[in-house]
């Protein structure tokens, strides 16, 4: 899950949120061997969010591993007045997620993994729709991909103007 540049989690006040715990079985010679996978989302409520899937023989160890993986996969989400800058649709596996900016006072209109992820990021007003698969892991990963693809409009305009100016100078 390489989203963009890495963010150091040590200087952030992160909160963990458990999304899903899944018991999985491995069939061996003497029967079934059970282990657990835990999907965890971490965020500081100020634009930083990460998701991780930890796997272990016991539930607490899986949750701890999921939190550690989520801290390694932190991304910065650009926000404008508590919402995202533009509408975006993202797909991961069979899960498709649509995120749409909303006016002040709308609140977070989302369910399941999408709600947990956008709330951990600190987004206050957003309208979302989850389509296709309802697999929590794929829904959270699709949400993270969508949030990672967001860009700050002012920075993009400035970047495009500077490259356009560079192209103009090379023509002269």
CATH of the domain at 23: 3.30.230.10
Q: What is the distance between the alpha carbons of residues 124 and 29, in angstroms, rounded to a whole number?
A: 51
Domain enclosing residue 112, as ranges: 15-151
Once rounded to an integer, what is the mean pLDDT over residues 82-102?
94
Is residue 35 situated within a structural domain? yes
Counting other chains too, the contacts that 150-155 makes at CB distance below 8 Å and 24 or more residues apart are 150/77, 150/78, 150/84, 150/85, 150/86, 150/88, 151/78, 151/85, 152/78, 152/85, 153/80, 153/85, 153/86
Number of domains composing the chain: 1
The pLDDT tens digits of the residues spanning 12-46 come to 788 999 999 999 999 999 999 999 999 999 999 88
* 3-state SS, residue 126: strand
pLDDT at 2: 47
Residue 4 located in a structural domain: no
Confidence of residue 162 (pLDDT cuts 50, 70, 90): confident
Q: Is residue 23 in some structural domain? A: yes
- Three-state DSSP state, 154: helix
| 171: in domain | no
Beta strand segments in the chain, E: 15-28, 31-43, 48-56, 75-76, 88-92, 95-101, 108-109, 126-132
In this structure, what token pair is assigned to residue 18? Answer: 């458990």
User: Distance between CA 160 and CA 35 in Å, rounded?
Assistant: 50
Length of the chain: 172
């Amino acid at each position: 899950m390489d989203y963009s540049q890495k963010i150091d989690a040590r200087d952030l006040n992160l909160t963990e949120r458990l999304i899903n715990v899944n018991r999985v079985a491995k069939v061996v010679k003497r029967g079934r061997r059970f282990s657990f996978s835990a999907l965890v989302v971490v965020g500081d409520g100020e634009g930083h969010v990460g998701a991780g899937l930890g796997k272990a023989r016991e539930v607490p160890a899986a949750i701890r591993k999921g939190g550690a993986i989520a801290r390694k996969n932190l991304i910065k989400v650009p926000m404008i007045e508590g919402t995202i800058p533009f509408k975006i649709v993202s797909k991961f596996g069979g899960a498709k997620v649509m995120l749409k900016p909303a006016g002040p006072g709308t609140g977070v209109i989302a369910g399941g993994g999408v709600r947990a992820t956008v709330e951990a990021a600190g987004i206050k007003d957003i309208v979302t729709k989850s389509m296709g698969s309802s697999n929590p892991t794929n829904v959270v990963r699709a949400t993270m991909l969508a949030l990672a693809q967001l860009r700050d409009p002012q920075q993009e305009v400035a970047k495009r103007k500077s490259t356009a100016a560079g192209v103009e100078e090379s023509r002269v």
